[in-house]
Homo-oligomer: A and B are copies of this chain.
């Protein structure tokens, strides 16, 4: 049983609970310490509810990082602006890290972390949860196996409805900080789901973006940061892409959707029905591929727990991110023999921050094309 500590994730936090659940779910690591909240009472209550001894609950993360021995990794689930200082401290102490996205606010910070992780020989994973879905991995296999031929056009979108009204004025905490330039920096919607979309596409296709041309809008009256974004993209080798992200798209919960068109076939995945994939070979009928089915690839199989027809969801996707991370920590997998690193890395975190930064630069300059 591995040992981990959590920083952030106190009472009232959504994502901290999600992390602890999926770690328990697979039963490969045990929470042995935490610094859950800067609010001491909250921190104490959270520790108690998780059955930690009082001396394993720290009011400052510094002390935790210094004093707790034998940690296999630390999960960072604090507000975004704290990711960098905490992660830095972990790496200084040669502790592996699982960090929520976006890995840092500034690109340079993420680059600094990458250097430190390399130098200190630490594993550092970023929770791009959606790449943990088994059918996203199948999609990656379809691309790398050549079944789509040469890639041509990628359409990625994430319409959501949750900020279609000015809910930041009516007590929605998350909407408050996301729409506040003081807390979120220069972007709301693009920065939040844009990093997911960029990461999903680059995970599945293995391609790097060369330049972008973007438009950001704040449609809700009085809102200062974007609630809708369109980004046209150019990848290597003439592949083109189109990203649409929205927080005002009434009718959508989490409408994440990825469509990949190549010279020999196409594939479409929709996050709200994550157990399916539509694959169409050139001049043939579309096929509905289903998670767990016998005709799928090994990569999908390794990331699946239930048989076909028994839905897996968001929790299991994050559990897969952790599971692949732990495989590397424990040496069950290694970069040399397993080909490519199978958990989302700092490189992934950096690429998606770059995407956001360059897209904002384009949007601020009348949608001029901006090179990477």
Contacts and interface: CB of A to CB of B under 8 A. Distances in A.
A278 B253 contact: no
Pick from A20, A51, A249, A279 the residue with the most CB of B within 10 Å.
A249
A146 B288 CA distance: 22
Contacts of A306: 18, 313-315
Interface in A219-270: 219-220, 228, 230, 232, 238, 240, 242, 244, 246, 248-255, 261-266, 268
A338 interface: no
A25 interface: yes
A308 B254 contact: yes
A160 interface: yes
Contacts of A369: 366-367
Contacts of A366: 369
Nearest to A291: B253
A116 to B, nearest CB: 32
B290 A253 contact: yes
A286 interface: yes
A272 interface: yes
Contacts of A50: 27
B312 A315 contact: yes
Nearest to A214: B232
Interface in A1-25: 1, 18, 20-22, 24-25
A299 interface: no
Contact of A285 (B249, B282, B293): B293
Contacts of A165: 282
Contact of A295 (B27, B155, B254, B283): B283
B289 A285 contact: yes
A311 B152 contact: no
17 contacts: A1-B51, A20-B27, A27-B50, A164-B263, A165-B282, A250-B282, A251-B265, A253-B290, A254-B308, A271-B311, A283-B295, A284-B295, A285-B295, A288-B288, A311-B313, A313-B313, A367-B367
